[in-house]
């Protein structure tokens, strides 16, 4: 088989997303969406087509041959690690498309560009987790980021949304510059941009100061993408200003892609320098857990609270990376898989609720007395809050336990202790939200204003995060185990 054709078949998920995204763009443009931006029929048709394309891309991931396959002259790699992350990314992106429909329709901003932008972002994220070279890393990262900047300012008529998009763009451009500078340093001192070549250049132990500086800049650039402290400054403002469906998307799929990319870069390209990056990641983890837990206490806006919650959860996930062992990476993958369900479920409940005047819910006080007006949604939100807090026997407890066990097994007991204390502190604001819903006096009469599909997604996410989710632990553990083993070349 011709090498180009072989490489194309290996990259089938990205090929499906690329062709599908261009098709969606043409469908929306020539189907009437460009002339009538509020044409919900065209937008719904494009969204349905986008979800189908995500499903086809996911099917191609499942049909791929097992093992590690390198394509495009070392720029691209397909293995169990990338396959697991791609399934998470595609699932989260498809859910983000579906959950946005009723919310954007109510806001009269339902346009076909939304699913198109999400499709291009998903394409960039899939390239990110399959990158085996600094060049493909940067291309995938920028493709995802450019779509994200536009999504943050999707409500261009609102000052908050425009401000969120501008902040995200300016700070994102700065982070991209930092990352690119780190890549140039690595290339200058290692003589290659390929991950395997960089590892080979570091293998003799005589690494130069320039390589260490390049490593620091690369970690800083990637830390911005996952909202790790001290590169988190954009997250609360963007979450608050961006449309709620966009904030839901930001909290899920891009986080999965960015943390997967960070894991691959550090574990493969910089494996010989593990002692250097382990200290940096440990600091990022501790700082994110502590600040995310403490800063969220003072928040009265639910979206800002969830932004700080995402920062804290990224800190917990980085605990697994700090271990730098197969068990730690397996625990990290388990953590982000459960985190996606918990955070998307929480945003789904928020988008399902509106005041009788048709206004969206953002303030925590707006949820007062929700258990009496909307008992089923209140119960689902309580499940998500208890799971995010890591209270057993809900599913959110087990990934936290897994990352703590992994880091203890690596001899970093202090990190596990700090994580445990941060979990206890963070439980305060999760439980406070439950208290507001069940014990505070009603301040507004809320109505459920979502679709049947969103209701089904909430039910599925709530059952997954409930104790019943333990039934799914065995297949998830098997999948994360295979993914971690493939990353370390063990299977």
Q: What is the pLDDT of residues 164-197, one digit of tens each?
A: 888 888 888 999 999 999 999 999 888 889 998 8
Most confident segment among 41-50, 154-163, 271-280, 445-454: 271-280
Of 135, 159, 481, 139, nearest to 334 by C-alpha is 481
The number of residues in the chain equals: 491
How far apart, in Å, do the first and last CA atoms of the chain sit? 26
The more confident residue out of 216 and 443 is 216
Cα–Cα distance between 293 and 61 in angstroms, integer? 36
Q: Is 392 strand, coil or helix?
A: coil
Q: Locate all alpha helices (DSSP H) within 34-158, ordered by sequence.
A: 40-63, 80-106, 113-129, 134-152
Share of the chain above pLDDT 90, in %: 37
29 CB-near residues (< 8 Å, 6+ apart): none
pLDDT at 345 over 70: yes
* pLDDT given for residue 56 in this prediction: 93
Q: In the block, which residue shows the tokens 């990224």?
A: 314
Please, what sign has the CA dihedral across residues 384, 389, 392, 397?
A: positive
* pLDDT given for residue 55 in this prediction: 92
CA angle 6, 9, 14 (to 5 degrees): 135
Beta strands in 365-423 (DSSP E): none
* pLDDT given for residue 437 in this prediction: 87
Name the token pair of 267: 């574990």
Of 342, 364, 382, nearest to 446 by C-alpha is 364
Domain residue ranges of the chain, discontinuous segments joined by +:
273-491
Query: What band does 298 get if pLDDT is binned at 50, 70 and 90?
Result: confident
Query: What band does 153 get if pLDDT is binned at 50, 70 and 90?
Result: confident
pLDDT at 156 over 60: yes
Q: 158 in the Ramachandran plot: left (φ > 0), alpha (ψ -120 to 50) or beta?
A: beta
Cα–Cα distance between 177 and 211 in angstroms, integer? 17
pLDDT at 154 over 70: yes
Query: What band does 260 get if pLDDT is binned at 50, 70 and 90?
Result: very high
Query: What band does 220 get if pLDDT is binned at 50, 70 and 90?
Result: very high
pLDDT at 262 over 90: yes
* pLDDT given for residue 283 in this prediction: 94
* pLDDT given for residue 208 in this prediction: 78
Q: In the block, which residue shows the tokens 């397909």?
A: 78
Cα–Cα distance between 265 and 183 in angstroms, integer? 11
Q: What is the pTM of this model?
A: 0.92
Contact criterion met (CB below 8 Å) for 115 and 47: yes
Please, which residues bridge with residue 360 across strands?
354
What is the Cα 50 distance to its own chain's centre? 19
Cα–Cα distance between 184 and 202 in angstroms, integer? 16
Q: CA-CA distances (angstroms) from residue 489 to 129, 321, 323?
A: 16, 17, 17
With both helix axes pointing from N to C terminus, report the angle between 40-63 and 80-106 in degrees, rounded to the nearest 10. 170
The more confident residue out of 125 and 7 is 125
* pLDDT given for residue 451 in this prediction: 72
Q: pLDDT, tens digit, for every residue of 93-129?
A: 999 888 888 888 777 777 888 899 999 999 999 999 9
* pLDDT given for residue 7 in this prediction: 58
Cα–Cα distance between 117 and 149 in angstroms, integer? 10
Mean pLDDT of the chain: 86
Of 220, 101, 232, nearest to 168 by C-alpha is 232
Query: What band does 275 get if pLDDT is binned at 50, 70 and 90?
Result: confident
């Amino acid at each position: 088989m011709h090498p180009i054709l072989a490489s194309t078949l290996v990259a089938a998920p990205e090929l499906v997303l690329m062709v599908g995204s261009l098709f969606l763009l043409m469908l929306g443009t020539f189907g009437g969406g460009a002339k009538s931006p509020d044409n919900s029929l065209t937008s719904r048709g494009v969204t349905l087509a986008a979800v189908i394309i995500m499903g086809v891309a996911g099917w191609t991931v499942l049909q791929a041959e097992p093992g590690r396959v390198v394509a495009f002259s070392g720029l691209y790699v397909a293995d169990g690690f990338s396959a697991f992350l791609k399934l998470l990314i595609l699932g989260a992106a498809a859910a983000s498309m579906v959950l946005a429909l009723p919310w954007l329709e109510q806001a009269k901003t339902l346009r076909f560009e939304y699913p198109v932008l999400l499709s291009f972002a998903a394409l960039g994220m899939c390239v990110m987790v399959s990158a085996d070279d600094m060049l493909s890393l940067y291309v995938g990262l920028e493709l995802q980021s450019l779509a994200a900047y536009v999504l943050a300012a999707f409500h261009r008529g609102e000052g908050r949304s425009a401000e969120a998009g501008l902040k995200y763009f300016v700070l994102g451009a700065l982070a991209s510059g930092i990352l690119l500078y780190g890549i140039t340093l690595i290339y200058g001192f290692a003589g290659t941009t390929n991950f395997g070549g960089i590892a080979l250049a570091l293998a003799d132990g005589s690494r130069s100061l320039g390589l260490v500086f390049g490593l620091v800049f690369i970690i800083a650039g990637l830390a911005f993408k996952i909202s790790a402290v001290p590169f988190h400054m954009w997250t609360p403002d963007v979450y608050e200003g961006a449309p709620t469906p966009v904030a839901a998307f930001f909290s899920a799929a891009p986080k999965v892609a960015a943390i997967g990319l960070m894991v691959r870069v550090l574990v493969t390209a910089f494996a010989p320098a593990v002692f250097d990056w382990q200290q940096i990641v440990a600091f990022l983890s501790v700082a994110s857990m502590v600040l995310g837990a403490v800063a969220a206490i003072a928040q009265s806006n639910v979206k800002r609270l969830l932004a700080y919650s995402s920062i804290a959860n990224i800190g917990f996930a980085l605990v697994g990376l700090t271990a730098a062992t197969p068990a730690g990476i397996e625990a990290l993958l388990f953590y982000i898989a459960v985190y996606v369900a918990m955070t998307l479920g929480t945003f789904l409940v928020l988008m399902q609720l509106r005041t009788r005047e048709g206004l969206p819910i953002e303030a925590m006080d707006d949820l007062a007395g929700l258990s009496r007006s909307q008992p089923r949604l209140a119960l689902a939100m309580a499940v998500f809050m208890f799971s995010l807090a890591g209270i057993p026997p809900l599913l959110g407890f087990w990934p936290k336990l897994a990352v703590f066990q992994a880091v203890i097994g690596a001899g970093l007991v202090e990190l596990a202790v700090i994580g445990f204390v941060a979990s206890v502190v963070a439980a305060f604001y999760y439980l406070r939200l439950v208290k507001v819903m069940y014990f505070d006096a009603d301040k507004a009469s809320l109505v459920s204003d979502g679709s049947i599909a969103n209701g089904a997604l909430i039910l599925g996410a709530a059952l997954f995060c409930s104790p019943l989710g333990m039934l799914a632990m065995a297949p998830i553990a098997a999948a994360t185990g295979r993914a971690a083993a493939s990353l370390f070349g063990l299977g």
